[in-house]
Amino acid sequence: MIRRHKSRTVHHLFVISILLLGAYLRWGAFDEAIIHGDQSAILDAAFQAAHLRYFPDIGMKSSVGVMQTGIVPLLAAVPLLVINRVIAVRWFFAALDFLALAWLYRAARRTLGRRTALLTSLLYATNPWIIEFVRTIWYQTLIAAFATVAFSGLLWVLSARKGRAAALALALIGATLMSLVHLVTAPWGMLVVAMGLLIAWHYKIWRGLWVGLGVSGVLVFPYLVYLVRTRFSDLAFLLRTGSDAVNGLNTSAFRLAGELLTGSMIVSTTHGDQWDRAIIEWPQEPTLFLILLGIAALWAFIDAGRRRRRLLGLSVAWSVLVPAIYLFSDVHLQHFYLMHIFPAPLILMAAGLDAMLRRVRVGFRLIGHSLVALLVVITLWWSSLWFVRIRLEAHGQLQRTTRAWLMDRAAITVDRYLEETPHSQVIVLTANRGEVSPFDWIRAYVQSDAVRVTPAGSGLIIPEGPMCYLLGPGVPVETLAPVADHITPTAAMTVPAAPSWNFHCGETRAPLPSPLATWNNGMRLLETQISGTFAPGEVLDLTYTWHYLPTVRRDYHVFNHLLLEGRTLVAQIDGAGVPTKYWRAGDVLITYFDLRLPENLSRGAYHLLTGAYAWPEIDRVFLTDGSPAFQVDRLTLP
């Protein structure tokens, strides 16, 4: 009795240690989470949903060109109902994965024993790729967590008698959530749901089946509405993509699966010089881990009885079929495409090592203890990588700019400024030129259109009334040269990044000159400036100042055409300059364009024209005098 009590105490200490380790690896320096365009898009929808202003039935476009579901922004909105901070989303996502870890331990212990549960939990808690994704606000973040919920539920149903209904419902809901957080997992998610239906029919677990299907139906319904509304165009696109001819088998999925399981490629991911100097490299680890996995999986089946083989069969099927789905696909695979392979291979490894330790012969047990020791060393090495990373993140030493706590600080500062000066505007200037800026979500945070974001090198907005400009990371103060006489730095609003993000605020703008030309949509060209050398292969820098008094609200692009003798087009540059969605009545807009001249530029007289057209319809907007474009300058190449 005393020995059994001591054994339980030791086991509980191991469990607590693994859970604490897993918690630290997930929550350590969680406020340092990086915010880029993808994260900003998720947060924007999440803040809107948390304020009950928008229900995201879809998310952003995926890497294969179809729209993601809205489940990730909705999940991100949950913590925002309580704490209005970006770091709350990061904390909540880590909590979901931590709960999946706890459920994995519970299911493995109930079905395969304490030792298998300990080893499986240790592997899941420390796996570098799981931690890599769970420490990021992303669509890929929760793939492994929901796959683990689904797998653990099926494991429970196949073994235990008590609690089967609840476990089956969890498995079906987990498979559905896994499919929704990233569509790349949907084919496997549908197979898991089908597997759950067969198991429910075999064991007559009707209550768990209906609960699982009912909740899953509610979760899927918004995306189904979107598919019906778009006539299943995304689904048709995916089917066409999957039916493309493939030259040979696409075996890269198995390579990526091996890298996920072993933590390979994490070390080679660029984190900066300090990371490279601080970590201990172990090039042999991936090979050792795969050998260990092969030995353990083989032994697990040799030693297993009928009941355990059924459970291990589920693990093998899960481990093999997930990458096998891509054998006949020509899609360029990435690591997150295979994240739902977890935790099945980990169960196989843990069960095999446990089987060795249960053998009576000393030789087998000695081998088992040696392999377990090697496994523990591997998990400690994995953990050491993240100890280094977390320490560097906590001290801001990974050269990562738009970190979550800094973004929160910026959002709070903007919100306070707008509360104190309700009629003001905040213009965020960002070095990012993608479709979505890391700062776009701040508009949803403050619930105001008074916040606008524009790429610093493309344009500048000058509102009518009081304004503040936030210079994001990498944006030089010279960007504000056109308004430098009317704004001043506001030290009290500085965000303490390194270098700091500074606010420059002012009350009024300079008087406007008479327009050079006026278009029918309310655009007025006030000034033009051309710099650079007009010669073959050179670049002309075009700076135009506009006054916008809209007559019809549409999205517009500005065009710049260089015509030889006013007839032959030889160079062109188009674009919005400032994103049209941020244009407001009364704004002064400065647009910047780089017009590259051809290497074979002929001698002669050239006309530089500018104008506008509606985008994406490409409907030309004419000037009020009926002209299709305005001649900015006449250039001559002698």
Q: What is the per-residue pLDDT across 257-275, written as a single tens digit (0 to 9) for each?
A: 999 999 988 876 656 677 7
Judged by DSSP in three states, 253 sits in helix
Q: Report the half-sphere exposure of 627 (CA within 13 A, side-chain side).
A: 11
Asked, for residue 406, whether it belongs to a domain, the answer is no
Cα separation of 61 and 55, whole Å? 17
Q: What is the pLDDT averaged over residues 280-286? A: 91
**pLDDT exceeds cutoff 90 at 144:** yes
pLDDT at 355 over 60: yes
Q: Give a yes or no: residue 169 inside a domain.
A: yes
Task: For residue range 201-225, list pLDDT tens digits in order.
Answer: 999 999 999 999 999 999 999 999 9
* pLDDT value of position 233: 80
* 256 within a domain of the structure (yes/no): yes
């050079």: which residue's tokens? 516
Q: Which domain holds residue 617?
A: 517-637
**Model confidence at 5: pLDDT above 70:** no
- Tell which of 448, 480, 506 closes a domain: 506
Query: Among candidates 54, 35, 148, which has minimal Cα distance to 97?
Result: 148
Q: Are residues 150 and 295 in the same domain?
A: yes
Burial 80-91 (b: 16+ CB within 10 A, else e): beeebbbbbbbb
- Which residue do the tokens 């509610």 mark? 218
Instruction: From 394, 426, 461, give the residue that closes a domain.
Output: 394
Q: Greater confidence, 64 or 616?
A: 616
Total domains in the fold of the chain:
3
Rg (CA), the chain: 30
Dist. CA 13–CA 19, nearest whole Å? 10
HSE at residue 568, side-chain half, CA atoms within 13 A, is 8
432 falls in which pLDDT band (50, 70, 90)? confident
Strand partners, 115: none
Q: Please enumerate, as own/partner, the contacts of 622-627 that have beta carbons within 8 Å and a separation of 24 or more.
A: 622/519, 622/520, 623/517, 623/518, 623/519, 623/520, 624/518, 624/519, 624/520
Residue 469 shares a structural domain with residue 570: no
47 inside domain = yes
What is the structure's pLDDT at 240? Answer: 62
> Taking the CB of residue 48, how many other CB atoms lie within 10 A of it?
21
pLDDT of residue 139: 94
Question: Residue holding tokens 């069969």?
Answer: 313
Alpha carbons 287 and 437: distance in angstroms, whole number: 41
Q: Do 171 and 278 lie in a common domain?
A: yes
The DSSP H or E segment spanning 429 is strand 425-430
The residues that bridge with 34 in the sheet, in sequence order, are: 403
What is the residue type of 340? Answer: H
φ and ψ at residue 467, rounded to 5 degrees:
-150, 155
Shared domain for 379 and 305, answered yes or no, is yes
Residue 512 lies in a domain: no
3-state secondary structure of 449: coil
Beta strands in 456-507 (DSSP E): 459-462, 467-471, 488-489, 502-506
The stretch 281-294 carries a mean pLDDT of 93
Same structural domain for residues 300 and 428? no
Q: Is 559 found in the same domain as 494? A: no
Across all residues in the chain, what is the average pLDDT? Answer: 90
Please name which of 68, 87, 63, 89 lies closest in space to residue 78, comparing C-alpha atoms: 89
Q: What is the mean pLDDT of residues 335-350?
A: 95
Q: 3-state class of 406 per DSSP?
A: helix
What would the two tokens of residue 594 be? 């780089």
Say if residue 244 is in the same domain as residue 130: yes
356 domain-assigned:
yes
The rounded distance, in Å, linking the Cα atoms of 144 and 147 is 5
Tokens read off for 588 = 């002064």
In a domain, 213, yes or no: yes
Q: Do 543 and 593 share a domain, yes or no?
A: yes
pLDDT at site 505:
95
Question: Residue 249 pLDDT > 90, yes or no?
Answer: no
CB-based contacts of 336: which residues, under 8 Å, 6+ apart? 133, 140, 143, 182, 184
Task: Tell me the CATH number at 629.
Answer: 2.60.40.10
Average the pLDDT over 39-47 and give the result.
96
Q: 438 and 333 in one domain?
A: no
Task: Map tokens 């579901």 to a residue.
Answer: 69
DSSP 615: T
Segment (H or E) for 568: strand 568-575
Q: Are residues 364 and 488 in the same domain?
A: no
Q: What angle do CA 252, 299, 336 make, to 5 degrees?
A: 25
Token pair recorded at residue 181: 């957080």
Report whether pLDDT(199) > 90.
yes
Domain boundary among 337, 363, 394: 394
pTM (predicted TM-score): 0.91
Residue whose token pair is 């979500």? 441
CB-CB neighbours of 371 under 10 Å: 20
The answer to whether residue 403 sits within a structural domain is: no
Which tokens hold the place of 474?
Answer: 């990498």
What tokens appear for 309 in the block? 């083989």
Q: With pLDDT > 90 as the criterion, what percentage of the chain qualifies?
A: 70
| Nearest one of 451, 454, 506 to 475, comparing CA atoms | 454
- Write down the pLDDT at residue 247: 62
Q: Which amino acid is at 262?
A: T
pLDDT of 1 strictly over 70: no
Cβ neighbors of 617 (< 8 A, separation 6 or more) are none
Q: Which two tokens mark 369?
A: 């203890």
Is residue 523 domain-shared with residue 435, that is, in the same domain? no
**Which pLDDT band holds residue 245 (cuts at 50, 70, 90)?**
very low
Say how far apart CA 361 and CA 460 lie, in whole Å. 77
Q: Would you call 368 exposed, middle or buried from its count of C-beta atoms within 10 A (0-12, 13-18, 19+)? A: buried
User: Can you tell me the distance from the alpha carbon of 40 to that of 454, in angstroms, rounded to the nearest whole number?
Assistant: 14
Which of 37-46, 51-60, 287-296, 340-349 is predicted with the least confidence, judged by mean pLDDT?
A: 51-60
Q: Does residue 526 share a domain with residue 501?
A: no
Share of the chain above pLDDT 70, in %: 96
Nearest alpha carbon to residue 593 among 615, 608, 614: 608
Task: Give the confidence band of 231 by pLDDT, cuts at 50, 70, 90.
Answer: confident
